[in-house]
Structure 1
Amino acid sequence: MTEVGLSALEAAMVDGAPVIDVREADEYEQLRVPGATLIPLSQFVERCCEIPDADTVYVICGVGGRSLQAAQYLEARGIHAVSVSGGTTAWMQSGRPVETGV
């Protein structure tokens, strides 16, 4: 299981890599990494069929705990997934752009 930093995520996003946000809808609406797709951890098992086919799937949450769980789940199913260390909180604190709202 791999964790990546914000720079790796940012570079992957430029190349069009999928980013899955596993926080709950209210957290996602308040603040998120631009372009991240919401699949809350509470619905992850039922909705994992929505994960795009990609070489690597980047999974993010608030600080890294939930994304680790989701990435481990995907890895166990043969999907290469990495967790973003520090999560959305670190992304925001670094001054990178964010989206809000629905």
Structure 2
Amino acid sequence: MFPPDVPSATPQDVPAEAYLLDVREDDEWAAGHAPAAHHLPMQEVPARMGEVPMDGAVYVVCRAGGRSAQVTAYLQANGWDNVTNVDGGMRAWAAADLPLESADDAPPRII
């Protein structure tokens, strides 16, 4: 299912200081995301990948891990050396009781 040779980590292994790139759609982001995450929908990555830092660890997350694995592989193919897929995505993040916030008035949730 995932591209070959995609480095991965569990949500619990994502360092607090890492750049967390959330590649989900706007409605998924609004429903619930990690407080320090940076939002860049998957379809916008090719046009906006210059916004993703190359000088530190980047962890890529989506809902379940499939889209983020593809983005991780894409960034690797375009020169990012320290990029890692977050296994299980935001579903695993929430299951691990890691912090979530929403961009609307509802309690944070993963859709």
TM-score by length of 1: 0.90
1:8 corresponds to which letter in structure 2?
A: D
Measured after TM superposition, the shift of residue 54 of structure 1 is: 2.9
Measured after TM superposition, the shift of residue 55 of structure 1 is: 2.6
> Once superposed, which parts of structure 1, at least 4 consecutive aligned residues long, lie more than 4 Å away?
none
2:35 matched to 1:34?
yes
Deviations 1:15-36 (A, max 9, x none): x210000001110010011211
Match of 2:91 among 89, 92, 97: 89
Deviations 1:17-66 (A, max 9, x none): 10000001110010011211000001110011100233321000001000
Identity %: 34
1:63 corresponds to which letter in structure 2?
A: A
Deviations 1:66-97 (A, max 9, x none): 00000000111120210000111111122121
Distance 2:25 2:39 in 1: 8
Distance 1:70 1:25 in 2: 17
- Unaligned regions of 5+ residues in structure 2, if any? 1-5, 105-111
Match of 1:2 among 7, 10, 24: 7
TM-score by length of 2: 0.83
Q: Does the Cα contact within 8 Å between 1:60 and 1:83 map onto a contact in 2?
A: yes
What is the CA RMSD across the aligned residues, in angstroms?
1.2
- Unaligned regions of 5+ residues in structure 1, if any? none
